[in-house]
Structure formats: C-alpha cells, structure tokens
Structure 1
Amino acid sequence: MNLDALIQRLHQIRENNDWRRFHSPKNLAMAASVEMSELLEIFQWLTEDQSRQLSAEQLEHAGQEVGDVVLYLLLLCSELGLDMDQVVRAKLADSERRFAR
C-alpha cells in the first residue's frame, strides 16, 4: 500500500468537493470516531465466537468501516503533518520494547 498515493487521491477527492474547510484535525478525529462506532455496531450483541465468524455481508460491511477509519486517519495525519508510516512504525517499536517477553 502506497500511503503517499492514497493521500494524494484523498486530497483530490477533498478538493473536488470543496471539503477542505471541514477537514480540521478536530473534525477528522471526530469523523474517525464515528466510523469506528459504525464498525463496533457490527459486533454489538455478538458472542466472541460469532464475532470471529461474520457472514460475507458482515465482512464486507466491516471492511468498508475499517476503510473509512483508515482514510480519516490518513487525512488527520496529513493535516497534522504526521507521517502515518513513521507514526505506526514508532508505535510498533514502542510496543515491542514494552511487551517483549
């Protein structure tokens, strides 16, 4: 996955629709949270086992919501001047240090 290409495509969609004015860091964080809530809704009331055996329709819906969350987070990183790849790698390295056995 080429994050730079994805961000460029996102920016193009944003510019084509005049959404830049809405894409403050606050609004993008809130939008990502809303999409995460929509992802959670798929799993609401399922047992642990059921959550691991989603129907094809549920899997497709989950994928759409995951995509929404990731795209909003990419836009948020762009607005904050954060490099998503660097941020994720740094967090992973931190987790490896903290939780290594």
Structure 2
Amino acid sequence: MDLLTWQRRLALFAAERGWEPYLNPKNLAMALSVEAAELVECFQWLSAEEAAALEPAQREAVADEMADVLIYLLQMARVTGIDLEAAAEAKLAKNARKYPAPPSP
C-alpha cells in the first residue's frame, strides 16, 4: 500500500464533499477514537476462540471498522504533516530498544 497515494485519494474524496473544514487534528483524533471503539465493540463479549473464528458477517464488520481506523489515521497524518511510515519505523526502533529480544540459546 502506498500511503501517499491513499492520502491523496482521501483528500480528493473529502474535497469533493466539502469536508475539509472538519478535517483538523482534533476532529480526526476524536473520530479515530470512536472508530477504534467500534472495532473493540465487534469483539465485546466474545471469547478469544470466538474472536479468532468470526462468521463472515462479523469479519465484514471488523474489516469495515479497521478500514475506518486506517482512513482516519491516514487523514490525520496528512493534515498534521507527519510521515506515518517514518513515524512507524522510528517507533519500532524505540520499541526494539525498550523491549530487546531475549538472547538466542
């Protein structure tokens, strides 16, 4: 997936609908939080086994919510000017230092 292409596509989609005034970091963070909560809701009350073996309709609902989370995250990265790929690489490096893998035997 080319994130910049997706961000341009999402910007055009929003522009065609006149949504630009609403796409600010505050609103996008709030929307992202709501969509993440809706993703959690898909798994609420399921056992780990049930969550790993979703029915087709459940999988579609999960896919929709995951897509919403991704879309809002890409929009937020675009409007804040944050290079999401670079940020993810930097965070992974921080996590590797913070949580080093155990030495191999």
**Does the TM-score normalized on the shorter chain lie above 0.5?**
yes
Shift of 1:99: 1.0
Structure 2 unaligned residues grouped into runs of 5+: none
Shift of 1:29: 0.4
Q: What is the letter of the counterpart of residue 9 of structure 2?
A: R
Residue 62 of structure 1 corresponds to 62
Q: What is the letter of the counterpart of residue 56 of structure 1?
A: P
Residue 33 of structure 2 corresponds to 33
Shift of 1:80: 0.9
Shift of 1:63: 0.9
Rg comparison, structure with higher value: 2
Paired with 1:66 and 1:88, the residues of 2 have a C-alpha distance of 18
What TM-score, normalized by structure 2, do the two folds share? 0.92
Q: For this pair of structures, how many residues does the alignment match?
A: 101
Please give the per-residue CA displacement for 1:28-85, whole angstroms capped at 9, x wherever unaligned. 0000111111111110111111111111111111111111101101111111110011
Paired with 2:68 and 2:83, the residues of 1 have a C-alpha distance of 18
Q: Which runs of 4+ in 1 moved over 4 A?
A: none
Residue 14 of structure 2 corresponds to 14
Q: What is the letter of the counterpart of residue 12 of structure 1?
A: L
What TM-score, normalized by structure 1, do the two folds share? 0.95
Paired with 1:9 and 1:29, the residues of 2 have a C-alpha distance of 20
Paired with 2:68 and 2:2, the residues of 1 have a C-alpha distance of 17
- Overall identity of the aligned pairs, in %: 38
Shift of 1:100: 1.4
SS of equivalent residue, structure 1 residue 37: helix
Residue 76 of structure 2 corresponds to 76
Paired with 1:23 and 1:57, the residues of 2 have a C-alpha distance of 30
Residue 24 of structure 1 corresponds to 24
